[in-house]
């Protein structure tokens, strides 16, 4: 296991079950210490965007928990774009990337991001889903070709990475920018407050649920049981 990126006595050992540089950057922006954890899962496409990211984030969490030290906190996430009735995951090649960007051109897309987290050894975790709407500029062929030539679209949901060059393709974002980036801060903080509780810094320990608004959905995750529970059943946890 690699060295901890940051260290503070206010946090338990935290693992990020993701190889995404942008997700790592978001944890660093929030001053959350973590260790990267490589997980291998087959990502699925479900009937809806929400179901897709919830299933994938849950599977990544399960894989991460199998590798984590007991008592460590594991964070996993997944993101997908939905545009014109299509779910746009990671493009298989440049041809698919061009097709995805043509779909997004002059249109709007819904970003679905899910965060799944739990403490290794516990029976209950948390699953939080957040949405944002991205409005795209008209993207003429030369713009699409230029963006694909940068290599940024590959390995990104919808062939689009808002955290870097992809931002110049957008007109506006309704919702949290971090939701589109792949690790939604509102969903993450609310889920952390439920699962980590007293192990978090005082400033983050009691994130008010009013932050949920209409874009965040928070549920308890019964680990290994394939079902979820009402988060109110988990209020006694740390």
Q: Which residues are the active-site residues?
A: 78
SS3 content of the chain, % helix, strand, coil (to 5): 35, 25, 40
Residue with tokens 């949901």: 157
CA distances from 146 to 27, 107, 161, 180 (A): 30, 19, 14, 21
Mention every residue, 6+ apart, whose C-beta is less than 8 A from residue 53.
78, 79, 80, 112, 113, 114, 129
- d(CA 78, CA 111) in angstroms, rounded, equals 10
Mention every residue, 6+ apart, whose C-beta is less than 8 A from residue 8.
31, 33, 201
- d(CA 116, CA 74) in angstroms, rounded, equals 8
Burial label, 62 (beta-carbon count in 10 A; 0-12, 13-18, 19+): buried
Question: Do the Cβ atoms of 91 and 35 come closer than 8 Å?
Answer: no
């Amino acid at each position: 296991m690699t060295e901890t990126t940051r260290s503070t006595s206010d946090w338990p050992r935290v693992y990020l079950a993701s190889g995404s540089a942008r997700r790592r950057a978001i944890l660093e922006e929030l001053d959350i210490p973590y260790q990267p954890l490589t997980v291998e899962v087959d990502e699925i496409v479900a009937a809806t965007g929400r179901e897709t990211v919830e299933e994938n984030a849950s599977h990544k969490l399960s894989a991460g928990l199998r590798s984590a030290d007991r008592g460590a906190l594991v964070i996993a996430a997944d993101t997908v774009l939905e545009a014109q009735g299509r779910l746009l995951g990671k493009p298989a090649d440049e041809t698919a990337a061009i097709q995805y960007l043509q779909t997004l051109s002059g249109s709007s897309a819904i970003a679905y991001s899910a965060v799944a987290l739990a403490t290794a050894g516990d029976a209950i975790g948390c699953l939080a889903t957040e949405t944002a709407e991205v409005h795209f500029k008209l993207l003429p062929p030369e713009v699409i070709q230029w963006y694909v030539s940068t290599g940024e679209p590959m390995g990104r949901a919808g062939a689009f990475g808002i955290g870097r060059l992809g931002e110049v393709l957008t007109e506006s974002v309704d919702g949290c920018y971090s939701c589109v980036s792949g690790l939604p801060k509102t969903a993450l903080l609310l889920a952390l407050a439920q699962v980590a509780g007293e192990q978090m810094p005082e400033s983050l320990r009691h994130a008010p649920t009013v932050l949920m608004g209409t874009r965040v959905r928070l549920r308890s995750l019964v680990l290994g049981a394939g079902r979820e529970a009402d988060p109110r059943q988990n209020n006694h946890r740390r």
